């Protein structure tokens, strides 16, 4: 057909998994899913180089479940290895959601607790196992885990598995499981260790790769402050800018209007030149502002996501998200501008109560929790802007409706009752 657009169906995914993904809010496949799903479905061994946040888990879980199709026998036919308990639990939860419209069964095995219940679950029977190496070996050696029927073995986060000295744990397993099986290896990087593992573990693998996100670069120190409203954010930003270490600061706002307000305020209040760019300004003005910023003439550049798109800046010392982006991938674009090329960077985000929801989505996307810092004691809490509180309430209500389709919405009910609005006067 010659078109680049490929939906799940054209990748070969069957209805019951498409339905499950629809329930999970997946509208179209991610890049790694487009590349990996058809290849895994064809039965080949595969190396997938992709970071957390790219959708790589579903990229292997969906075709593996599709291969297993329906519940069969007692002993597992697929094993997914994970380096940590947390990852094992997360992956198991994704497997469960994706298998909603099948009768497939999954059991998760990890150390620390629940040995007895894990044994029992294995005795009852399962089709797929998600496991950390230690507990898996323990259950294997004690005879509870039978691997003779294994058809698929997945090593997820293989680079981390290798760092944990996983190879000598794996070898004895490889010796007993059927030779004729499908092997999949996923890793954030293709390090020497992973390459070695791939020689030992895979047979004529295809390799697929998606470009790493600059976002989760290890050189970026990310943090969040919880701040009640716009004016408080502004005052706090001014306070932060009292620190000379903040020498080249990119400040992101949600709208042009907010960017202009921030600019007008900072211009009067802080040391060093401040400029603003947004889509009302012409392309040249924007490029010049970036150039001046790059050359160190401008200390603080205030921007919106749209205005900053496609413009590259090296060496930004700090990115400040005055507002959390609602298009969550913008978070990774924004913070990718600091900490470049091994320069240490800092990304500071201010989150008001209506933005907590987006922080959570971002954390899922980047696969980590962003540390929340305590507000300094001397932080001045300012008034809300006109309509600001109400807008926040409406937004929080909208989020509730998104999460719970049965929730009718507070505003819906109270349209005609002006007096009882969340206990606020005015």
Residues binding ligand AMP (CB under 6 A):
26, 29-30, 33, 52-58, 364-365, 367
d(CA 245, CA 236): 16
Which C-beta is closer to ligand AMP: that of 48 or that of 339? 48
Which C-beta is closer to ligand AMP: that of 98 or that of 259? 98
Which C-beta is closer to ligand AMP: that of 7 or that of 103? 7
3-state secondary structure of 376: coil
Shortest spacing between CB 99 and ligand AMP, in angstroms: 14
Residue 190 half-sphere exposure toward CB, CA atoms < 13 A: 14
CA distances to 174, 245, 270, 290, 291 from 267, rounded to whole Å, are 65, 18, 6, 17, 19
Strands lying side by side in the sheet with 220-226: 273-277, 298-304, 249-253, 318-321, 345-351, 220-226, 372-373
Which C-beta is closer to ligand AMP: that of 57 or that of 66? 57
Shortest spacing between CB 54 and ligand AMP, in angstroms: 5
Which C-beta is closer to ligand AMP: that of 40 or that of 241? 40
Which C-beta is closer to ligand AMP: that of 93 or that of 317? 93
Give me the helices (H) in 99-179, please: 115-124, 133-141, 158-163, 167-176
* Integer Rg of the chain from CA: 25
Shortest spacing between CB 206 and ligand AMP, in angstroms: 19
Shortest spacing between CB 420 and ligand AMP, in angstroms: 37
**What are the strands, taking DSSP E only, across 262-414?**
273-277, 298-304, 318-321, 345-351, 372-373
Cβ-contact 106, 96 below 8 angstroms = yes
d(CA 336, CA 313): 10
3-state secondary structure of 279: coil
Cβ-contact 226, 374 below 8 angstroms = no
Shortest spacing between CB 80 and ligand AMP, in angstroms: 12
Shortest spacing between CB 91 and ligand AMP, in angstroms: 8
- Quickly list DSSP for 213-234: PSTT-TTEEEEEEE-SSHHHHH
Shortest spacing between CB 361 and ligand AMP, in angstroms: 8
Which C-beta is closer to ligand AMP: that of 22 or that of 163? 22
Which C-beta is closer to ligand AMP: that of 26 or that of 190? 26
Shortest spacing between CB 94 and ligand AMP, in angstroms: 7
């Amino acid at each position: 057909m010659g078109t680049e657009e490929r939906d799940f169906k054209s990748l070969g995914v069957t209805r019951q998994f498409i339905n499950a993904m629809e329930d999970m809010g997946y509208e179209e496949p991610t890049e790694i899913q487009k590349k990996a799903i058809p290849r895994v479905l064809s039965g080949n061994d595969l190396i997938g180089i992709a970071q957390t946040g790219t959708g790589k888990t579903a990229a292997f879980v969906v075709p593996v479940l599709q291969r297993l199709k329906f519940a069969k026998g007692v002993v597992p036919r697929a094993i997914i290895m994970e380096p940590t308990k947390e990852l094992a639990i997360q992956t198991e939860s994704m497997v469960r959601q994706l298998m909603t419209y099948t009768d497939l069964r999954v059991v998760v095995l990890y150390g620390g607790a629940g040995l007895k219940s894990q044994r029992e679950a294995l005795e009852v029977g399962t089709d797929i196992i998600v496991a950390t190496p230690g507990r898996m070996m323990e259950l294997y050696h004690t005879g509870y885990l039978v691997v003779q029927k294994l058809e698929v073995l997945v090593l997820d986060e293989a680079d981390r598995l290798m760092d944990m000295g996983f190879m000598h744990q794996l070898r004895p397993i490889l010796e007993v499981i059927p030779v004729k099986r499908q092997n999949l290896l996923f890793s954030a990087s293709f390090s020497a260790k992973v390459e070695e593992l791939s020689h030992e573990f895979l047979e004529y693998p295809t390799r697929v790769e998606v470009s790493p996100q600059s976002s989760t670069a290890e050189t970026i120190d990310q943090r969040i402050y919880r701040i009640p409203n716009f004016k408080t954010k502004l005052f706090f930003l001014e306070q932060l800018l009292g620190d000379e270490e903040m020498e080249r600061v990119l400040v992101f706002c949600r709208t042009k209007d907010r960017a202009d307000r921030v600019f007008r305020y900072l211009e009067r209040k802080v040391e060093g030149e401040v400029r603003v760019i947004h889509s009302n300004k012409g392309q040249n003005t924007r490029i010049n502002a970036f150039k001046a910023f790059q050359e160190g003439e401008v200390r603080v550049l205030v921007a919106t996501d749209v205005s900053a798109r496609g413009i590259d800046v090296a060496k930004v010392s700090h990115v400040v998200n005055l507002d959390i982006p609602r298009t969550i991938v913008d978070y990774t674009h924004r913070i990718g501008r600091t900490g470049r090329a091994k320069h240490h960077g800092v990304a500071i985000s201010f989150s008001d109560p209506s933005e907590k929801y987006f922080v959570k989505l971002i954390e899922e996307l980047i696969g980590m929790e962003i540390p929340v810092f305590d507000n300094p004691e001397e932080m001045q809490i300012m008034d809300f802007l006109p309509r600001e509180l109400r807008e926040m309430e409406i937004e929080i209500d909208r989020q509730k409706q998104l999460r719970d389709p049965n929730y009718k919405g507070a505003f819906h009910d109270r349209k005609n009752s002006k007096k009882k609005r969340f206990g606020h006067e005015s």
